[in-house]
């Protein structure tokens, strides 16, 4: 991207600001963000948010599964039976999507709840705490999607008309596409 993508301006806020403010929701108890130990700028950007706990491990995790394990250890005392996985580069989380996913999760709190748009799975995904111990058992060459593939009977797909559930910010083209689609609930 040529610059830290989470600190890029999207509308009148940075990408990370959009993500953490979108998670101010009655059903979201805490927001934990794992930040590399050398990323002082991102740590400073998150400091003003009282609902966000910044988790800074001594070494940068090599992969998302390791990041999730560190976050789960940090939130063991916070979560109410489940947790949402939202990659930080998925900044467009709409409250109506959260509402729909949370309703589905409350109906089946032992299942993994994943939003689906046009047949494609997206984010955020809600995982039950009962699967936390299985994260360490995922084969080294597999990611967190392994839980969804190895437990299809525990996956609840929630159809979402919002394309925002597929939003991912990996390339300059993704950022340009996001800027064109951007219709935040409040910017």
Whether residue 129 lies inside any domain: the answer is yes
Whether residue 187 lies inside any domain: the answer is no
List, in sequence order, every residue forming a beta bridge with 32; answer none if it has no partner.
53
Domain count, the chain: 1
Whether residue 45 lies inside any domain: the answer is yes
Query: What pLDDT tens digit does each residue of the chain (187 aa) get?
Result: 677 888 888 878 888 998 899 899 888 888 989 898 899 999 999 999 999 989 888 888 777 777 877 787 777 765 558 888 888 878 778 899 999 999 999 998 889 999 999 999 999 999 888 888 788 788 877 878 888 888 899 999 999 999 889 888 877 887 887 777 766 554 4
* Angstrom distances, CA of residue 26 to CA of 42, 99, 124: 25, 10, 16
Domain limits at 148? 5-181
Q: Quote the pTM value.
A: 0.85
Whether residue 121 lies inside any domain: the answer is yes
Whether residue 117 lies inside any domain: the answer is yes
Whether residue 186 lies inside any domain: the answer is no
Sign of the alpha-carbon torsion through 89, 39, 67, 110: negative
CATH code, domain carrying 131: 3.90.550.10
Backbone phi, psi, residue 16, to 5°? -65, -35
Under 8 Å between Cβ of 131 and 57: no
Residue with tokens 């059903």: 27
């Amino acid at each position: 991207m040529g610059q830290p993508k989470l600190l890029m301006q999207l509308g009148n806020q940075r990408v990370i600001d959009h993500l953490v403010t979108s998670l101010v929701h009655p059903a979201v108890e805490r927001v934990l963000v794992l930040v590399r130990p050398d990323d002082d700028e991102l740590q400073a950007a998150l400091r003003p948010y009282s609902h966000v706990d910044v988790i800074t491990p001594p070494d940068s995790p090599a992969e998302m599964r390791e990041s999730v394990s560190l976050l789960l250890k940090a939130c063991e005392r916070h979560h109410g039976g489940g947790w949402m996985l939202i990659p930080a580069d998925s900044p467009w989380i709409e409250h109506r999507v959260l509402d729909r996913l949370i309703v589905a999760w409350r109906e089946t709190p032992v299942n993994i709840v994943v939003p689906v748009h046009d047949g494609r799975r997206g984010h955020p995904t809600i995982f039950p705490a009962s699967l936390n111990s299985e994260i360490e058992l995922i084969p080294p060459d597999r990611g967190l999607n392994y839980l969804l593939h190895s437990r299809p009977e525990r996956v609840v797909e929630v159809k979402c008309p919002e394309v925002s559930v597929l939003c991912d910010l990996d390339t300059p083209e993704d950022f340009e596409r996001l800027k064109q689609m951007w219709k935040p609930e409040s910017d």
